[in-house]
Chain A
Amino acid sequence: MPHTSEVGLRLWGRTWKEFYAAAVRGLLALYDVRRVPKAAVRRRKIVLKAESPEELLVAWLDELNFYITAKRLLPVAQSFQRAGPDAVGASLRMVPLDAMRRPLKGEVKAASYHKLKVERLRGRWCATVILDV
């Protein structure tokens, strides 16, 4: 979603699992990740809790982004043990950034709470989230 200085992601999923999986794909799209090389995969577990779905979505995106920017690991696949409005737990398969053929585009600093609302619309969980880049 266009934003003058930052970038926005429109996310949706019929289930919470689909919704959080959409957030992973959205984040990778912001880094312009098109092809993931076959490389030694690392596994990481993420378990998060929050008081609202908005806070949880921000925490989920920030956690994934922490792995990308600080651990230099790119989440490429996930299986959810738990997914709901106040908690998410997932095992993620991650590929080291150094295995990528081309550098990632830009850097996502963090997900913001600006105008953020997670809501059920036409049978799907939906949100628009602005990220600082």
Chain B
Amino acid sequence: MSLFRKIDDYRFELPKTGGMRVPGLVYASEGMLPKIERERVAEQVANVAHLPGIVGHSLAMPDCHWGYGMAVGGVAAMDVETGVISPGGVGYDISCGVRLLRSDLSAAEIKPHAERLMDALYGRVASGVGKGGPIRVDKRGMLDVFKKGALWAVEKGYGDREDLLTCEDGGFLKDADPDLPSERAIERGRDQIGTLGSGNHFLELQVVDEIFDLGVAAVFGLFKGQLTVMVHTGSRGCGYQICEDNLRLMQRAAPKYQIRLPDRQLACAPICSQEGREYYGAMCAGANYARANRQAITHLIRECFSRVLGRGPESLGLRVVYDVCHNVAKFETHEVDGKPRRLCVHRKGATRAFAAGHPDVPEPYRAVGQPVLVPGSMGTAYYVLVGTERAMRETFGTVCHGAGRLMSRTQAAKQVEGHRLAVELKDAGVSIRTDSYRGLAEEAPLAYKDVDEVVGVCHAAGISRKVARMRPIGVLKG
């Protein structure tokens, strides 16, 4: 018998049982549900529903899958006065996110230069384990990074102020406390600005192959046949260390505040406690590091394009469509039971998707809504969606963050040979650069859910609308 109660074709409720304070709600198609049930998503959604101060539902997006603590694709909103904040509800890669750059170039224009461009990007944007990039920052500089995020990068000449206009939060979180990250977090971050990392992180050249909403796409500056560049990365070792340090502290905080945890990874503290406030301040600093990182990578991308194409960055039109993260906890006001409430919204592998008119949507997009960037997997599709009013009402303005994994890395690597996959992708018109073919195999498209179906559920459920779709032509895999 299913654990879920069907509400409609795309919504399945996990009824309140035991110590759950609210029910769970999973967005999925009927076809996706058996896999979600087989995994431990229901258990993880239920565990999160035990946390003090949770409001509405413990949510899971259609790309959800088994994580640690909170499921990947999970969303939980906590009342600021009675609720808790949990590093496990954010994840180790604080403010991991996606940035999309548009260009004035067409796919046809870039084709003769694509291989050289990929070589240049591979040489300039470091990827892989512990690799440093071309940007080194001293301790004092790190405090500035923590405070100013992408603005720090722009002030250092890595981009311009116009880039920040279309970034979530204008490129940095104002609540960051630069003094809170540990010495070790500073050490790990000093030489990793402008680097991708590994795993599912990537830098891709893509082509817009479908426009679903001409009007909104035009506002976002997207057109069919256009070359775009997408970057997926986060706060690197610096963010992992901030999460590690605070998770350790939270192990003590939970018993201190008599919080019963269904899973130690969900260790948390009241939002208003010292531990809660300190985690939030440090997390914001880590988030700003991630935003500085994506801004620095943007600069390196522009350098590569200019060098290979022999044109100035202005004439290439490489502008930021949007930069949005999917691992974060943020204070936001949402309507609950007809009344506005101040909430701490945890999104772990879930993307903010605010509707038209919301003051946090960048001014150039406010009339249409916030862009949402949803990567698929290497051989498939990538989407730009737009936030909706329904998402504001149902999901605290949140939607999916990708295709979502379907298969373990071990399983994928057993089924796919990395070098062969690279050749197959090349034959399909996707040029690959990677340090690790084993890592490439682990990220094979078959290891992921069908992104078209995931996005289709979000669209049909009304929690976002499709705007444009891209296909990759070059992948630099972390």
CB-CB < 8 A to B291: which residues of A?
none
CB-CB < 8 A to A62: which residues of B?
244
Contact count band on A: 20 to 34
Using CB atoms, name the residue of chain B closest to A6: B68
Residue of A55, A97, A106, A132 ringed by the most chain B CB atoms within 10 A: A106
**Known contacts A113-B247, A113-B251; A69/B91 CB under 8 A:** no
CB-CB < 8 A to A112: which residues of B?
68-69, 88, 265
Using CB atoms, name the residue of chain A closest to B443: A106
CB of A4 within 8 A of CB of B65, answer yes
A58 to B264, CA, bound (A): 12
A130 to B92, CA, bound (A): 13
CB-CB < 8 A to A55: which residues of B?
248, 251
Judge whether B143 is part of the interface by a CB distance below 8 angstroms. Answer: no
A31 to B128, CA, bound (A): 11
Partner of B129, one of A58, A103, A132: A103
Contact count band on B: 35 or more
- 8 Å CB contacts to A: which residues of B371-412? 405-411
How many pairs of residues, A versus B, come closer than 8 Å at their CB atoms?
Answer: 112
CB-CB < 8 A to A86: which residues of B?
none
CB of A3 within 8 A of CB of B408, answer yes
Q: How far is the CB of B44 from chain A (nearest CB, A)?
A: 9
CB of A113 within 8 A of CB of B265, answer yes
CB-CB < 8 A to A72: which residues of B?
130
- 8 Å CB contacts to A: which residues of B434-475? 435-436, 438-439, 442
Q: How far is the CB of B47 from chain A (nearest CB, A)?
A: 10
CB of B198 within 8 A of CB of A107, answer yes
CB of B251 within 8 A of CB of A103, answer no
Partner of A133, one of B69, B128, B265, B409: B409
A78 to B408, CA, bound (A): 31
CB of A68 within 8 A of CB of B244, answer no
A59 to B263, CA, bound (A): 18
CB of A106 within 8 A of CB of B92, answer no
Partner of A106, one of B91, B129, B263: B129
CB-CB < 8 A to A54: which residues of B?
264
Judge whether A114 is part of the interface by a CB distance below 8 angstroms. Answer: yes
A6 to B65, CA, bound (A): 11
CB of A69 within 8 A of CB of B237, answer yes
**Known contacts A4-B405, A62-B244, A103-B436; A68/B130 CB under 8 A:** yes
Judge whether A80 is part of the interface by a CB distance below 8 angstroms. Answer: no
A8 to B405, CA, bound (A): 16
CB of B67 within 8 A of CB of A105, answer no
Known contacts A4-B405, A106-B198, A133-B199; 14 further A-B pairs (Cβ under 8 A): A31-B129, A58-B248, A104-B129, A106-B439, A107-B129, A107-B130, A107-B478, A109-B92, A109-B93, A110-B243, A112-B88, A113-B247, A113-B251, A116-B264
